[in-house]
Structure 1
Amino acid sequence: MDEFSGLAALVTGGASGIGLATARWLSARGAHVAVLDRDTEGLPDPLAGFVADVTDDAAVRAAVEAAADRLGGLDILVNNAGVGAVGTVEDNDDVEWARVLDVNVTGLVRVSRAALPHLRESAYAAIVNTCSIAGHAGLPQRALYSATKGAVQALTLAMAADHVGEGIRVNCVNPGTVDTPWVRRLLAATDDPDATLAALEARQPHGRLVSADEVASAIAYLAGPNSGSTTGTVLAVDGGMHGLRLPPRD
């Protein structure tokens, strides 16, 4: 329970969903944790909130510096901030493509770039990016979102290669469909939320949505000192969706 004792972690998009679950998980295991989000009202103690939009480079740099100053440095960065998008390539215009790419891909770059000088000072430096099953499985109505998550997966491997010599490990998690407020909002907007939920559960071999805590525990594993020889890894947390091919259920 004290694997992260004395370590400092920054979690983007940490005010809800997977990010909040991760921040709480790390904190409960001894880490000093800062959350970077557009709105940090209501964060539970002892999480420290810093407001920034990952599309604003100046705000990101200021928030990362403030977080590092508050925590006494940075050992762990969890790049979790992101937005969704629904539709085929015909359904989103250039403005929406630019917006989602700016948040999900370039936003990750901005935060990593600001954090790297601090991570280089750590003996336990780790970056974990939140990717998605959509990064390597073709999902209907997710063209734009999938493009960004494919980029995040490729970027993770490139970053791992670039920074392994500096002692900075870079990995990513690829969750399946996770039971988060964002997914619940998507369900509520459908014509038949119950049927849509049942279909999402059925496409994951273990027959249910992934929990945010399950993803958080995977992130914590990749971020922790006990995984010091793990870098450039893509860890699926999807109930077997990526690798298993099961016969249809009766």
Structure 2
Amino acid sequence: MFELTGKQAVVTGGGSGIGRAIAQLFARQGAAVHIIERTLAAGQATADEIAQAGGTAQVHAADVGQQAAVQAAFAAIGRVDILVNNAGIAHVGTVENTPEADFDRVYQVNVKGAYNCLFAAVPRMREQGGGTILNLASIAAHVGLADRFAYSMSKGAIHAMTLSVARDYLSSHIRCNSISPARVHTPFVDGFIAGNYPGQEAAVFDKLSRSQPIGRMGQPTEIAALALYLCSDEAGFITGCDYPIDGGFIKLNT
């Protein structure tokens, strides 16, 4: 089950964290993985690890927020059976203390980046007779998180785009779903905490871990496992759905 042999999978932001775990698992299940990162160096370690394990992976340098660069990357890739829109950045702030430049930067990467990849991939999938898209949304698309105005905006947009693409391309046999993780322990999280809460790292990590009713953050491999299922043929009856993978955050917090 969950074999991806013969499929070409594109994973944006596949050089670290959740994207890295997804790229590695998809390659292990037989997919030829194409990692899109801002620089070749950012994704090369993941590609090297995949190759050392006997898998197939290539890195394509592109800023997902720049449509011409994305189009060039997809032209080099060719066939796209699976697209995972994972690349994204975080931001702390309310509407009052979110500068326009910060808002634009979050929009450029998280929203326009996903749009650019959809814009490049969907015509290819339609012409080849189908495909599978998975977008990385967030619990921020479903509940109000304090001090996450711009980030919540971007993930709400991802959720809405998922539904729109799923509806528009039913007859083209293109499935589109999303995953909404709560906090997942990645190097990005460690850097985010260090950058925004200097001197309070241990306390903030503990607080963020306990905000999930299950009592811990998720692991990238757990997100990757759900991504594999949703992108596999076994999930062929699923489209237009969002899957919280959140340790009970949305439904069980009281």
- State the TM-score bracket (shorter-chain normalisation): over 0.9
Pick from 171, 175, 178: which aligns with 1:172? 178
**Contact preservation (8 Å) 1:15, 1:40:** no
SS at match of 1:55: coil
Q: 1:229 to 1:2 in 2, by over 3 A?
A: closer
Report the more deviating stretch, 145-154 or 119-128: 119-128
SS at match of 1:36: strand
1: CA distance, partners of 2:130 / 2:243: 20
2: CA distance, partners of 1:124 / 1:6: 14
1:202 to 2:210 alignment = yes
1:238 equivalent in structure 2: 246
Q: 1:94 to 1:2 in 2, by over 3 A?
A: closer
How big is each residue's C-alpha offset from its partner over 1:43-66, in whole Å with a ceiling of 9 and x where there is no partner?
A: 322320000001111110000110
Q: By how many angstroms is 1:131 displaced?
A: 0.6
1:219 to 2:238 alignment = no
1:96 equivalent in structure 2: 102
Match for 2:246: what amino acid?
D
1: CA distance, partners of 2:129 / 2:160: 25
2: CA distance, partners of 1:89 / 1:37: 29
How big is each residue's C-alpha offset from its partner over 1:112-141, in whole Å with a ceiling of 9 and x where there is no partner?
A: 111112212445510000011111111111
Q: How do residues 1-250 of structure 1 correspond to structure 2 at under 5 angstroms?
A: 3-41=3-41, 42=45, 43-44=47-48, 45=51, 46-68=56-78, 73-122=79-128, 125-189=131-195, 190=197, 191-245=199-253
Q: By how many angstroms is 1:245 displaced?
A: 3.7
**Contact preservation (8 Å) 2:67, 2:116:** yes
1: CA distance, partners of 2:237 / 2:114: 23
Report the more deviating stretch, 170-179 or 42-51: 42-51
Gaps of 5+ in 2: none
2: CA distance, partners of 1:99 / 1:168: 29
Q: By how many angstroms is 1:185 displaced?
A: 0.6
Match for 1:16: what amino acid?
S
1: CA distance, partners of 2:180 / 2:173: 23
SS at match of 1:165: coil
Q: Percent identity?
A: 40
TM-score, with length taken from structure 1: 0.93
1: CA distance, partners of 2:116 / 2:62: 11
2: CA distance, partners of 1:176 / 1:220: 18
TM-score, with length taken from structure 2: 0.92
1: CA distance, partners of 2:166 / 2:117: 16
2: CA distance, partners of 1:90 / 1:2: 46
Q: Which has the higher helix share?
A: 2
Q: 1:188 to 1:101 in 2, by over 3 A?
A: same
Say how many residue pairs are matched: 242
2: CA distance, partners of 1:123 / 1:205: 42
Match for 1:233: what amino acid?
C
2: CA distance, partners of 1:157 / 1:225: 20
RMSD: 1.3
Report the more deviating stretch, 187-196 or 139-148: 187-196
